[in-house]
Chain A
Amino acid sequence: MPRMIVNARINGEEHELFTDPHRTLLEALRDTIGLTGTKEGCGTGDCGACTVLLDGSPVNACLVLAPEVEGKEVITIEGIATDNTLHPVQEAFVNEGGLQCGICTPGMVLSAVALLDRNPTPTETEIRYAIAGNLCRCTGYDKIVRAIEVAAEASR
Chain B
Amino acid sequence: MTTTQIPTGIPTRTPEADVTVPTRTVIGQRVPKIEGTEKVTGKAQYGADTSRPNMLWARFLGSAHAHARIVSIDTAAARALPGVHAVVTGADLPGIVARISETAAAPEEFDVPSRGKRILAWRKAVFHHEPVAVAAAISPTIAEEALALITVEYEPLPVVLDPEVSMRREATPIHDGVFTETFAGKARTPSNVAKVTEMSKGDVDAALASADVRIAASFRTAMVHQGYIEPQACLAEYAPDGRFSIWTSTQGSFGVRSGLAGFLKVPPRRVRVTASEVGGGFGAKGAMTLEPICAVLAYVTGRPVKMQLSRSDVLRATRPAPDTSMHVEVGARRDGTLVAARAHFVWDVGAYPGGGSVGGINCSFGSYAIQDYHYVGYDVLTNRPSTGAYRAPNGPQGAYGVESALDMLADELGMSPVALRLKNAVAEGDRNPSDVPYPRIGLKETLNAIASHPAWTSPKSPPSREGWLRGRGVGCGLWGGGVGTSTAHININEDGSAVVVTGAVDLAGTRTTMAQIAAEELQIPYERVQVVQADTDVAPFSNPTGGSRITYSLGTAVYRAAIDARTQLRQRAATVLRCPPDDVEYRGGELWSTLAPAHRLTIGQVARGSSGSGQGPVVGTGEVTHLLRAPAFATQLVEVEVDPETGAVVVTNVVAAQDVGKAINPTAVEGQIQGGVVQGLGWALTEGFVYDNEGRLRNPGLLDYRMPTALDAPNVECLLVEVPAVDGPYGVRGVGEVPIVPTLGAVANAVYDACGARVTTLPISGEPILTALADPARGKSSVAWTPPALSLDIDVVIEEEVEEQEEVIE
**Closest residue on chain A to residue B703 by CB atoms:** A46
Q: Give the contact stretch, choosing among B21-29, B224-232, B628-636.
A: B224-232
- Kindly identify, within residues 14 to 65 of chain A, every residue whose CB is under 8 Å from any CB belonging to chain B: 20, 22, 30, 34-44, 46-47, 49
- Chain A residues within 8 Å of B509, by CB: 97, 100
Chain B's nearest CB lies how many Å from the CB of A81? 5
- Chain B residues within 8 Å of A81, by CB: 41
Contact A44 B703 (CB under 8 A): yes
Given contacts A95-B32, A136-B229, A140-B674, contact A47 B702 (CB under 8 A): yes
Contact A103 B229 (CB under 8 A): yes
Contact A138 B710 (CB under 8 A): no
- Chain B interface, >50% SS class: loop
- Chain B residues within 8 Å of A102, by CB: 35, 38-40, 44, 277, 279
Interface residues on A, range: 35 or more
The verdict on B212 contacting chain A, using a C-beta distance below 8 Å, is no
The tally of residues in B whose CB lies under 8 Å from a CB in A reads: 60
Contact B702 A93 (CB under 8 A): no
- Chain A residues within 8 Å of B231, by CB: 40-41
- Chain A residues within 8 Å of B39, by CB: 99, 102, 105
Complex CA distance for A129 and B707, rounded to whole angstroms: 15
**Closest residue on chain A to residue B308 by CB atoms:** A40
Contact A101 B671 (CB under 8 A): no
The verdict on A128 contacting chain B, using a C-beta distance below 8 Å, is yes
Contact A109 B40 (CB under 8 A): yes
The verdict on A70 contacting chain B, using a C-beta distance below 8 Å, is no
Chain A's nearest CB lies how many Å from the CB of B687? 11
Complex CA distance for A40 and B709, rounded to whole angstroms: 18
Contact B508 A138 (CB under 8 A): yes
Complex CA distance for A101 and B671, rounded to whole angstroms: 11
- Chain A residues within 8 Å of B507, by CB: 100-101
- Chain B residues within 8 Å of A39, by CB: 46, 48, 229-230, 279
- Chain B residues within 8 Å of A34, by CB: 51
Complex CA distance for A97 and B43, rounded to whole angstroms: 18
Contact B710 A144 (CB under 8 A): yes
- Chain A residues within 8 Å of B678, by CB: 139-141
Q: Give the contact stretch, choosing among B7-15, B515-523, B616-624, B711-719.
A: B711-719
Given contacts A102-B44, A131-B710, contact A143 B674 (CB under 8 A): yes
Chain B's nearest CB lies how many Å from the CB of A7? 23
Complex CA distance for A48 and B56, rounded to whole angstroms: 27
Given contacts A101-B280, A141-B678, A144-B710, contact A76 B716 (CB under 8 A): no
**Closest residue on chain A to residue B713 by CB atoms:** A141
The verdict on A137 contacting chain B, using a C-beta distance below 8 Å, is yes
Given contacts A37-B42, A78-B41, A101-B230, contact A141 B710 (CB under 8 A): yes
Given contacts A102-B279, A104-B229, contact A142 B43 (CB under 8 A): no
Complex CA distance for A75 and B39, rounded to whole angstroms: 17
Chain A's nearest CB lies how many Å from the CB of B411? 30
Complex CA distance for A88 and B308, rounded to whole angstroms: 33
Mark contacts of A78-97 with chain B using CB atoms, 8 A cut-off: 1 yes-contact digit, 0 otherwise: 10110000100011011111
Complex CA distance for A93 and B677, rounded to whole angstroms: 20
Complex CA distance for A39 and B233, rounded to whole angstroms: 12
Of B1, B40, B43, which contacts A99 at CB under 8 A?
B40
The verdict on B675 contacting chain A, using a C-beta distance below 8 Å, is yes
The verdict on B765 contacting chain A, using a C-beta distance below 8 Å, is no
- Chain B residues within 8 Å of A96, by CB: 667
Contact A132 B33 (CB under 8 A): no
The verdict on B741 contacting chain A, using a C-beta distance below 8 Å, is no
**Closest residue on chain A to residue B310 by CB atoms:** A43
Given contacts A100-B675, A101-B279, A143-B667, contact A106 B42 (CB under 8 A): yes
Contact B711 A100 (CB under 8 A): no
Chain A's nearest CB lies how many Å from the CB of B586? 31
The verdict on A10 contacting chain B, using a C-beta distance below 8 Å, is no
- Kindly identify, within residues 225 to 273 of chain B, every residue whose CB is under 8 Å from any CB belonging to chain A: 226-231
- Chain A residues within 8 Å of B145, by CB: none
**Closest residue on chain B to residue A46 by CB atoms:** B702
The verdict on B297 contacting chain A, using a C-beta distance below 8 Å, is no
Chain A's nearest CB lies how many Å from the CB of B238? 22
The verdict on B278 contacting chain A, using a C-beta distance below 8 Å, is yes
Contact B710 A40 (CB under 8 A): no
Given contacts A44-B702, A101-B507, A135-B229, contact A140 B41 (CB under 8 A): no
The verdict on A6 contacting chain B, using a C-beta distance below 8 Å, is no
Chain B's nearest CB lies how many Å from the CB of A4? 15
Contact A100 B49 (CB under 8 A): no
Complex CA distance for A100 and B51, rounded to whole angstroms: 24
Of A42, A109, A143, which contacts B311 at CB under 8 A?
A42
- Chain B residues within 8 Å of A105, by CB: 39-40
A sample of 5 inter-chain contacts (CB < 8 A) reads: A49-B229, A101-B278, A139-B678, A140-B716, A144-B710
7 further A-B pairs in the complex, CB-CB below 8 A; given A77-B42, A135-B709? A36-B42, A39-B230, A42-B701, A42-B702, A94-B40, A97-B32, A128-B711
User: Which residues of A does B touch, CB under 8 Å?
Assistant: 20, 22, 30, 34-44, 46-47, 49, 76-78, 80-81, 86, 90-91, 93-97, 99-106, 109, 127-129, 131-146
Complex A-B, nearest 6 residue pairs according to Cβ-Cβ distance, in ascending order: A37-B42, A103-B279, A102-B39, A94-B36, A140-B674, A140-B678
